Amino acid sequence: MTTYLDKTAPIADRVSDLLARMTLAEKLGQMAQIEKNSITSDAVNECGIGSVLSGGGGNPTPNTPENWRAMVQDFQKAAAETRLGIPLIYGSDAVHGHNNVYGATIFPHNIGLGATHDAALVKEIGRVTALETAATSVRWNFAPAVSIARDIRWGRSYESYSQDPQLVAELGAAYLKGSQGAALSDNTSVVGSVKHFVGDGGTAWGTTGRYAWVKDWWKTDGERWMIDQGDCLDDEETLRNVHLIPYLAALEAGARNIMVSYNSWDGLRMHGQKYMLTDVLKGELGFTGFLVTDWLGINQLAADYYDGLVIGINAGIDMVMVPFDFVMFINTMQKAVNDGAISAARIDDAVSRILTVKFELGLFDNHYTDIPSIDFVGCEAHREIAREAVQKSAVLLKNADAALPIQSAVKSVLVAGAGANDIGMQCGGWTIEWQGGTGAITPGESLLTGLTKAIPATTNLFYSGEGTFAKGTQAEVGIVVLSEPPYAEGEGDRKDLAFTADEIALIERVRACCDTLIVVLYSGRPRIVTEQLDQIDALVAAWLPGSEAAALAEVLFGQVPFTGKLSFAWPKTMDQIPYAADHDYLWPIGFGLT
* Count of alpha carbons within 13 angstroms of residue 377, beta-carbon side: 27
Q: Is 3 exposed, middle or buried (0-12, 13-18, 19+ CB in 10 A)?
A: middle
Indicate the pLDDT class of residue 222, thresholds 50, 70 and 90. low
The answer to whether 567 and 117 have CB atoms below 8 angstroms apart is yes
| 220: pLDDT strictly greater than 60 | no
pLDDT at residue number 209: 86
Pair 84, 21: CB distance under 8 Å: yes
Q: How far apart are CA 372 and CA 187, in angstroms?
A: 7
- Quote the CA–CA distance of 591 and 10 in Å, as a whole number: 50
Cis amide linkage into residue 144, ω under 30° from 0: yes
- pLDDT at 219 > cutoff 80: no
Give the pLDDT of residue 218.
54
Classify domain 26-375 at the CATH class level. alpha beta
pLDDT tens, position by position, 466-494: 999 999 999 999 999 999 999 999 999 99
Give the pLDDT mean for 526-536. Answer: 98
Give Dmax over CA atoms of the chain in angstroms.
85
Each residue of 555-592: pLDDT tens digit?
999 999 999 999 999 999 999 999 999 999 999 999 99
pLDDT value for 266: 87
Backbone angles phi, psi at 140, to 5 degrees: -140, 120
Q: What is the average pLDDT value for the chain, to the nearest integer?
A: 97
Estimate to the nearest angstrom the gap between the alpha carbon of 162 and the chain centroid.
14
78: part of which helix (H) or strand (E)?
A: helix 65-80
Are 293 and 309 spatial neighbours (Cβ–Cβ below 8 Å)?
no
pLDDT tens, residue by residue, 285-308? 999 999 999 999 999 999 999 999
CA nearest neighbour of 141 among 85, 203, 200, 95? 95
Question: Edge-to-edge strands of the sheet including 460-464?
Answer: 395-399, 538-543, 514-522, 475-483, 412-416, 460-464
The span from the CA of 360 to the CA of 104, in Å, is 27
- In this prediction, residue 40 has a pLDDT band, given cuts at 50, 70 and 90, of very high
Tell me the backbone φ, ψ of residue 228, rounded to 5 degrees: -60, 135
Identity of the residue numbered 316: G
Q: What is the mean pLDDT of the segment spanning 441-459?
A: 97
Q: In what order do the strands lie in the sheet with 290-292?
A: 194-197, 257-260, 290-292
Reply yes or no on whether the pLDDT at 221 is more than 70: no
pLDDT of residue 367: 61
Tens of pLDDT, residue by residue over 413-433, are 999 999 999 999 999 999 999
Tell me the pTM.
0.98
Residue 13: what are its φ and ψ, rounded to 5°?
Answer: -70, -40
**Is it the case that residue 216 has pLDDT exceeding 70?**
no
Tell me whether domains 26-375 and 394-576 share a fold: no
Single out the catalytic residue among 124, 132, 422, 489: 489
Cβ pair 357, 135 in contact under 8 A: no
Decide: 552 and 394 in contact? Cβ < 8 Å: yes
Confidence check: pLDDT of 6 > 80: yes
Residue tagged active-site, from 151, 159, 170, 294: 294
How many residues appear in the chain?
594
362: Cα separation from own chain's centroid:
25
489 in catalytic set: yes
The domain 394-576 belongs to what CATH superfamily? Answer: Glycoside hydrolase family 3 C-terminal domain (3.40.50.1700)
pLDDT of residue 581: 93
Domain spans, the chain: 26-375, 394-576
Interval 193-207 mean pLDDT: 97
pLDDT tens digits, 363-373? 999 766 789 99
Task: Calculate ∠ Cα 542-548-551, nearest 5°.
Answer: 65
The answer to whether the beta carbons of residues 261 and 294 sit under 8 Å apart is yes
Is 384 known to be catalytic?
no
The closest of 68, 51, 89, 192 to 136, measured between CA atoms, is 68
